[in-house]
Amino acid sequence: MDNEKLEEIFLVLEDKLDKAVNVLKDEYATIRAGRANPHILDRLQVEAYGGMSPLNQLGNIAVSDARCLVISPWDKSLLKAIEKAILASNIGLNPTNDGNVIRLVFPELTEERRKDLVKQVRRMGEDAKVAARNVRREAMDGIKKMKNGKEISEDEASNAEQDVEKAISKTMEELDKAVAAKEKELMTI
C-alpha cells in the first residue's frame, strides 16, 4: 500500500482487533474454573493506606495446591481489609484468615454453575465479536471516505475492503477458539 492514510487505517484496525482478543482473554483469566488461579484476584482493589490498592501489590499470592490460594500480605495489619475486599468482590469464595495468611479454597463447581459460567463466557465472546464488527465498520467507513474523496481508486478500495474482511475473519476465528477453549476448561471435571 502506497497510501499513508490507508496504512494508518490498517494499523488502527489491527491494533483494535488485537485489543479485542486480549481483553477477552484477560476477562477469561478472571473466571473461576474450579482450580486455584491467582488471576481471579487481578482486579481486586483493597482499601489500604488511605486509598485503594491492587491486592497483588500488597503481598504474595501463591497456589498451594490445585484448589487453594494463599495470600501473604507484607503488612499483617491489612489482613482484615483484604478479607473484606474478597468478600465484597463477589467472586464466590470465602477467605479463611489465620492471623498470618489468608487462604482461599476453591470448591468443586456444580454442573449448574458450570453451565452458568459457559453462558457468561459465550456472552463475553459475543461482546468481543461486536467490538470487532464495530472496528470493521470504522475501517470500511474510512475506506469509503477515501474512495469518495478520490484519494484512492475503486480497485484500491476494493482490495482494501477485502483485506479488512480477511483481518476480521482471522480475529473472529481467534475469538471462537478462545471461547471454545474456556468452555472446554469449564466443562472438564
- 6-54 pLDDT tens trace: 889 899 999 999 999 999 988 887 776 667 778 778 888 888 888 888 8
pLDDT tens across 172-184, in order?
999 999 999 988 8
Looking at the fold, whether 87 and 176 belong to one and the same domain comes out as no
Range of the domain at 89: 38-105
Query: How large a percentage of the chain has pLDDT more than 90?
Result: 32
- Residues 167, 20 contacting (CB under 8 angstroms): no
Q: How many domains does the chain have?
A: 2
Same domain, 177 and 134: yes
User: Do 100 and 114 sit in the same domain of this protein?
Assistant: no
Q: Is residue 130 located within the same domain as residue 182? A: yes
The CATH number covering residue 50 comes to: 3.30.1360.40
Of 105, 127, 159, the residue that ends a domain is 105
43 with 14, same domain: the answer is no
36 closest CA partner among 91, 97, 118, 116: 91
3-state secondary structure of 172: helix
Taking the C-alpha atoms of residue 98 and residue 169, their distance in angstroms, rounded to an integer, is 51
Residues 41-69 have a mean pLDDT of 85
Give the model's pLDDT for residue 32.
Answer: 66
98 lies in the same domain as 42: yes
